[in-house]
Amino acid sequence: MKEQSSIHYAEFSLIKGGLLFRLLVWMRLMRPDLEPLYSRAIIFALLTWLPLLVLSAMQGLAVGGSIKIPFLYDITVSVRLLLALPLLIVAEQMVDSRSHEVICHFIESGLVDDKEAPKYESIVRQVQRIANSIPVEGVILALVIVNSAFLRLEFSGVSSTWQFLVSPSGITRTPAGWWHLVVCIPVFQFLLVRWLYRYLIWCWFLWRVSLLDLRLVSTHPDRVGGLAFLGVLQVKFCPIVFALASVLSAYVGQEILFGGAVLKQYTMMILGNVFLILTIFLGPYLVFSLKLFEIKRRGFLEYSAMANDYTRSFHQKWIRGEAPEGEHLLGSSDIQSLADLSNSFAIVRDMRLVPFDLKLTIIPYAACAVIPFLPLALTVFPIEEIVGKIFEILL
């Protein structure tokens, strides 16, 4: 059964499907195995950012001039197109390989037994069909185009930028501004919403699987009934978290440089961003908490009863002297059995109610949400002061 299931689920993919996937394969920009990954990321970055640089330079809006924000000073746009956008593409292969392993592991590990296998297969088939939906990605594309066309035409500023030129006769959008509106914004938003769509599918999969009668074991060494492998997959979403946090950090940095803001104003926003990230990416795994609580409660009672029987027998045999004549405690397997029982009971007692832990999951997510904001500390503590303090401490 396990061997057949492994073969049956071998073709599952959360990423390989949909309108964009088929279009890129048809254009020979990508093979069905998602390669070449980094070349595609670079192509998307250059397709969006490079024309902006060229068009801005042709008008003298790339570096200086009389405008308030030249193109190369627009940190938000550059970070979004040169860092965040490639990360959204690089994350595809990371998540795809891990999600495939998770799908197969539920069967191969025996968590889903033969009785529940048909239900599980039905869930996987639905996930695959929804993830590969061309009409859904078509709707996403239409929505981001409509958003760019009708919701971003306004300009409320009073000074010229590389996107808009303000003159007594009115406000005009520059060629670079048009490229940003027609190409850059839709491409980035499409990739972002496409990821959101697939993540919601994955959350739905987790919820459906949590309703199955899984064969969880309270004494599993991972201290989460055998579900710790789920946390390994979730960490693969970290590049997306880093990408979004980088865009937000770039926006704050630009407000500090050109808007007269100070970092302290955004403290609550940064903390709120970390909390929101942890909630969005770890919250869905709480669907297993009730099941894990029940497994822990049942295991605690079962192993408590077993421990009572064994320790009572051990006490009578070795403490009260009821051991058979000639049998010695030294070298007896009773001691090892008692230690093994104690270890099993400790695992049940320490069993977590969520399939992730602090070191392997929570800290990486928090780090990806915070690290992009660290360069902003230079607006509060100049680099000379930081370096001086370091040398003062070390020397």
**Judgement on whether residues 255 and 127 belong to the same structural domain of the protein:** no
Q: Of 170, 186, 215, which residue constitutes the final position of a domain?
A: 215
| DSSP string across 335-349 | HHHHHHHHHHHHHHH
Q: Domain limits at 395?
A: 224-321+333-395
Q: Of 215, 245, 267, which residue constitutes the final position of a domain?
A: 215
169, 187, 190 from 145: Cα distances, Å: 29, 9, 9
Q: Of 215, 241, 271, which residue constitutes the final position of a domain?
A: 215
Asked, for residue 251, whether it belongs to a domain, the answer is yes
The widest CA-to-CA distance across the chain, in whole angstroms, is 110
Asked, for residue 91, whether it belongs to a domain, the answer is yes
Q: What is the structure's pLDDT at 53?
A: 93
Number of domains into which the chain is organized: 2
302, 312, 317 from 335: Cα distances, Å: 21, 13, 12
**Judgement on whether residues 257 and 346 belong to the same structural domain of the protein:** yes
Q: What is the pTM of this model?
A: 0.84
Distance CA 307, CA 310 (A): 5
Chunked in runs of 10, what are the mean pLDDT values of the chain (395 residues)? 52 84 86 84 92 91 79 91 94 87 88 89 90 90 84 60 79 88 92 93 93 89 87 84 93 83 85 90 91 88 78 67 58 64 79 85 90 81 63 61
Asked, for residue 326, whether it belongs to a domain, the answer is no
Q: What is the structure's pLDDT at 230?
A: 86
**Judgement on whether residues 230 and 354 belong to the same structural domain of the protein:** yes
Amino acid at 9: Y
Asked, for residue 205, whether it belongs to a domain, the answer is yes
Beta-strand runs (E) in the chain: 164-167, 170-173
**Judgement on whether residues 61 and 114 belong to the same structural domain of the protein:** yes
DSSP class of 324: P
Going by C-alpha positions, the residue among 233, 337, 349, 232 that lies closest to residue 295 is 349
Asked, for residue 100, whether it belongs to a domain, the answer is yes
**Judgement on whether residues 78 and 138 belong to the same structural domain of the protein:** yes
CB neighbours of 82 closer than 8 A, spacing ≥ 6?
45, 49
**Judgement on whether residues 241 and 206 belong to the same structural domain of the protein:** no
**Judgement on whether residues 176 and 308 belong to the same structural domain of the protein:** no
**Judgement on whether residues 86 and 141 belong to the same structural domain of the protein:** yes
